[in-house]
Amino acid sequence: MLNEFVILMKQELLLCIILFITLILKISENENNPKNWIGIINGLLLINFLAGFFLSTTGELFNGMFKVSELIIFEKNILNLGLLIVSLMAQPYLKNHKHLPEFYMLLLSTLIGMFFMISSGNLLMFYVGLELSTIPMAALANFNLNKANSSEAGMKMILSSAFSSALLLMGVSFIYGTTGTFNFTQITASLDNNALQVFAFVLLFTGFAFKLSVVPFHFWTADVYEGAPVPVAAYLSVVSKAAVAFVFVTVLYKVFGTMANLWYVLLFLTSVLTIGIGNIFAVRQENIKRFLAFSSIAQVGFILVGISSGTKAGEASMIYFLLIYLFSNLGAFAVVNVVSTMSGKENISDYKGFYKTNPALSWFLTIALFSLAGVPPTAGFFGKLFLLTSGASTGNYLLVGFAAINMIISMYYYLRIVKAIFMDENAMPIASIKTEILPRIAIIICIVGILATGFMGSVYNYIYLLSSGI
Amino acid sequence: MNGVPLTHMIIVSTLLFFIGAYGFLTRRNLIAMLMSVELMLNSVNINFIAFNKYLFPDNLDGLVYTIFIIAIAAAEAAVAIAIIINLFRNTRSIDAEYADKLKN
């Protein structure tokens, strides 16, 4: 029994151990040099990522509250990789920060929360995991303690997430009132789609939409991304969003599979709004972090198109796209982080003439932006191709056509930055930046991921084998 | 179960929920907004306990969920107040109208 417990929860337990190691480092603060810690913690995170591939047993714990399947292990490995890349790219920001161990403690506790959320087979476990992943996130958004922007971002994040979890809990309470259980399989068995359950489902959907920043509920996103430190914004836009998307699909397909007609309409409307408004607002942004925030909102809209099909291909294409999106968005954020910490410049107009002074970083940023836009040789193209093909399988060509047209519109604003980098003249370009070794490793992992993932069909086949439809 | 019927409990909790939502959307003081959210969470607690007591008295699922909500709401309030204090240190105000530096 104990053996089974340790093996099934090995990824969570490993993260807990690393969390305690950072705590011990914090206590012995005076003797050690913070610069050594970054190396130690990154090494531990690398071990943690590699350990995810060994001893993959599947099963259930606590009467189905905690489930582990091969797909869940794969999703956790994706998130571990995201954490590793964020931790590597955060080095220039963190090396002079006096609260370095706290940064990692908060980061690791959010990831533990996400793992419990992904593994949950019960609404109680799901709620606890969700809160464990959002409350430390708000503290992280406020990590530049003496900057008003950063505390404003933290305030907006914690208040909007508290409001959204209140909505979500109201939905959970009505689900409980009509079915009498919190267990996912038992809920599915006793759903009869009466009016109260539909109302409860819409409230649950709203809660998820807040966390995923789907359009009617996206107002916090851009402000938080702009105010938060760049590594936190990167983590928020990729890892935290991917975790919520994984659970969202599980809840839609496994728990509310009988309400497919209802949530298809909801996904249709919200995805059209999300893609449209994300694109319109991304066009007029001047700050590159706000720009990446709205571009990530638009990308969520494409994910919604993919999962609206409710098929096996829908789930597989969503996970595949999120893997690619992790590489592309973290690659873009890594370059932005290097530039922002070294020169303090965050506006798109500051990037004019960037190629003259920093050719390597310019190419990396360009490849990442091409992948986000979905230009063919990069992996982003294949990710969007699979999402739209899966969305087209329901026969709703209006939605897929709208998404495809918006892909072309999105080219405009991604290429606007590329144009600023390569073509625009600037009397005072950003000075030549010497990238340190850790962020350089992060950027190289991202670029290799972007170029390789699209051509390795075996990745998609592997995910397709593991996933399941309604 | 004579006395108060279940519908009355649900009416009270729904009223509380919408009072909380109204307060969250109209109040401009950050502490008052936080209090409104707590009101919404408490209305959810009433819902859980009422459903558990009236409809499913055999098990304690709803009560356990309520305890978790109370504990997590306390953690949330602690972090939120810490952030609001930090915001006050930086801007000398806890009015949502003045927290508008992040705009395009």
Q: Are B13 and B47 in contact (CB under 8 A)?
A: yes
Q: Are B97 and B30 in contact (CB under 8 A)?
A: no
DSSP, collapsed to helix, strand or coil, labels residue B67 as helix
Nearest CA in chain B to A220: B102
Question: Which pLDDT does position B12 carry in this prediction?
Answer: 93
- Please state, in angstroms and rounded to a whole number, the distance separating the CA atoms of residues A73 and A296: 25
- Please state, in angstroms and rounded to a whole number, the distance separating the CA atoms of residues A246 and A225: 22
Across the interface, of A147, A159, A181, the residue whose CB is closest to B61 is: A181
- Please state, in angstroms and rounded to a whole number, the distance separating the CA atoms of residues A392 and A306: 8
Q: Do A151 and B90 touch (CB under 8 A)?
A: yes
Question: Which pLDDT does position B17 carry in this prediction?
Answer: 93
In this model, does residue B81 exceed pLDDT 90? Answer: yes
In a domain, B69, yes or no: yes
Q: What is the pLDDT of residues B37-50, one digit of tens each?
A: 999 999 999 999 99
Q: Do B104 and A138 touch (CB under 8 A)?
A: no
Residue A214 exposure: Cα atoms within 13 Å on the Cβ side: 25
In this model, does residue A448 exceed pLDDT 80? Answer: yes
Instruction: Count structural domains, chain B.
Output: 1
Give the structural domain span for B66.
6-91
Tokens of A444: 């190289």
In this model, does residue A76 exceed pLDDT 60? Answer: yes
Q: What is the pLDDT of residues A24-70, one digit of tens each?
A: 888 876 655 666 788 888 888 898 888 888 877 888 888 888 989 88
Q: Do B75 and A180 touch (CB under 8 A)?
A: no
pLDDT classification of B97: cutoffs 50, 70, 90: confident
State the average pLDDT over residues A123-140.
93
Q: Are A18 and A83 in contact (CB under 8 A)?
A: no
Question: Which pLDDT does position A334 carry in this prediction?
Answer: 92
Question: Which pLDDT does position A18 carry in this prediction?
Answer: 92
Nearest CA in chain B to A228: B102
pLDDT above 70 coverage of chain A, percent: 98
Question: Which pLDDT does position A437 carry in this prediction?
Answer: 85
Q: From residue A229, how far is each of A94, A161, A384 by CA, in Å?
A: 10, 19, 29
Task: Return the minimum-mean-pLDDT range out of A39-48, B10-19, B78-87.
Answer: A39-48
Question: Which pLDDT does position B16 carry in this prediction?
Answer: 94
Q: What is the pLDDT of residues A147-186, one digit of tens each?
A: 888 988 999 999 999 999 999 999 999 999 999 889 888 8
Q: Do B80 and A158 touch (CB under 8 A)?
A: yes
Question: Which pLDDT does position B34 carry in this prediction?
Answer: 92
What interface predicted TM-score (ipTM) does this complex get? Answer: 0.94
Give the structural domain span for A168.
2-466
The CA distance from A369 to the nearest CA of chain B, in Å, is: 21
The CA distance from B87 to the nearest CA of chain A, in Å, is: 5
In a domain, B20, yes or no: yes
- Selected for mutation to probe chain A from B9, B28, B31, B37 (highest A CB count within 10 Å) is B37
**A62: burial class by Cβ within 10 Å (0-12, 13-18, 19+)?**
exposed
Q: What is the pLDDT of residues A336-375, one digit of tens each?
A: 999 888 888 888 888 888 888 888 889 999 999 999 998 8
In this model, does residue B77 exceed pLDDT 80? Answer: yes
Q: Higher-confidence residue: A426 or A441?
A: A441
CA geometry: angle A402, A406, A410, nearest 5 deg: 175
- CATH number of the domain to which B33 belongs: 1.10.287.3510
In a domain, B77, yes or no: yes
Q: Which residues of B touch A127 (CB under 8 A)?
A: 65, 68-69, 72
Question: Which pLDDT does position A433 carry in this prediction?
Answer: 81
pLDDT classification of B103: cutoffs 50, 70, 90: low
- Selected for mutation to probe chain B from A152, A196, A224, A290 (highest B CB count within 10 Å) is A152
Closest CA to A118 of A162, A51, A69: A69
- Please state, in angstroms and rounded to a whole number, the distance separating the CA atoms of residues A282 and A300: 14
DSSP, collapsed to helix, strand or coil, labels residue A61 as strand
Closest CA to A183 of B83, B15, B65, B43: B65
In this model, does residue B83 exceed pLDDT 80? Answer: yes
Q: What is the pLDDT of residues A380-412, one digit of tens each?
A: 888 899 999 988 888 888 888 999 899 888 998
In a domain, B103, yes or no: no
Q: Do B72 and A151 touch (CB under 8 A)?
A: no
pLDDT classification of A248: cutoffs 50, 70, 90: very high
In this model, does residue A415 exceed pLDDT 60? Answer: yes
Closest CA to A255 of A64, A59, A123: A123
- Please state, in angstroms and rounded to a whole number, the distance separating the CA atoms of residues A272 and A460: 26
How many contacts (CB atoms, under 8 Å) link A and B?
A: 127
Q: What is the pLDDT of residues A306-330, one digit of tens each?
A: 988 888 888 999 999 999 999 999 9
pLDDT classification of B2: cutoffs 50, 70, 90: low
pLDDT averaged over chain A? 88
Largest CA distance in chain A: 68
pLDDT classification of A460: cutoffs 50, 70, 90: confident
Q: Higher-confidence residue: A426 or A280?
A: A280
- Overall size of chain B counted in residues: 104
Instruction: Count structural domains, chain A.
Output: 1
Closest CA to A12 of A103, A71, A76, A85: A76
Closest CA to A441 of A346, A364, A347: A364
